[in-house]
Every structure is written in structure tokens, then in C-alpha cells.
Amino acid sequence: MAHHKSAKKRIKQDEVKTVQNKYYAKTMRNAVKKLRLETDKEVASVSYPQVVSMIDRLAKKNIIHANKAANLKSSLALHINKI
């Protein structure tokens, strides 16, 4: 257990950030899933830039790995082109 005041504060901050990061990652996964289930090309192509922006922001903050972000964007682009 932490004995220093700064270590206790760091533990609290980490818990808050963990909850926030899980929320943002789950929101991104839901957006990706919704886009993958979309069958209308026009709707999918409109929502694609928003999902890509969300993915890029999470990769920039190291919530998801940069390679995972690239793989997600690539697979979504292929999906939209296939529709």
C-alpha cells in the first residue's frame, strides 16, 4: 500500500483515468460495430470520417495502439468500398 501522499494521489488519478479510457475505448468499439453493421453506403461514408477521427484521437492518447488504429481504419475503408 502507498505510504506517501503523492503516491496515494497518483493511485486515485490512475483509477479515474482508467475509467475514462475504458469509456472512450468502449464508445469507439460501439461506433466501429455500428459502422460495420451498416448496409447503406451513403450513411456509412458519412459516418466513416467521424469514426476515423475517434480512432485517431484514441491512438494519439495511447488508449489504443497505433497499429490497431491503422488496422481498424483500413478494414472499415474496405468494408465501405465493398458495400
- Measured CA to CA, the distance from residue 35 to residue 70 in angstroms comes to 16
**Domains: count for the chain:** 1
Query: Quick check: is 34 in a domain?
Result: yes
Query: Quick check: is 62 in a domain?
Result: yes
Chain centroid, CA 44 distance in Å: 18
Yes or no: say if 76 and 51 are a contact pair by the CB < 8 Å rule. yes
Residues of the chain with pLDDT under 70: none
Query: Quick check: is 6 in a domain?
Result: no
**Parent domain of 55:** 22-82
Query: Quick check: is 60 in a domain?
Result: yes
Query: Quick check: is 61 in a domain?
Result: yes
Query: Quick check: is 40 in a domain?
Result: yes
Q: What pLDDT score was predicted for residue 1?
A: 74
The pTM of this model reads 0.86
- Cα 69 to Cα 13, 25, 50, 54, 62: the distances in Å are 26, 11, 14, 10, 10
Q: What pLDDT score was predicted for residue 3?
A: 87
Query: Quick check: is 11 in a domain?
Result: no
Query: Quick check: is 29 in a domain?
Result: yes
Q: What pLDDT score was predicted for residue 2?
A: 80
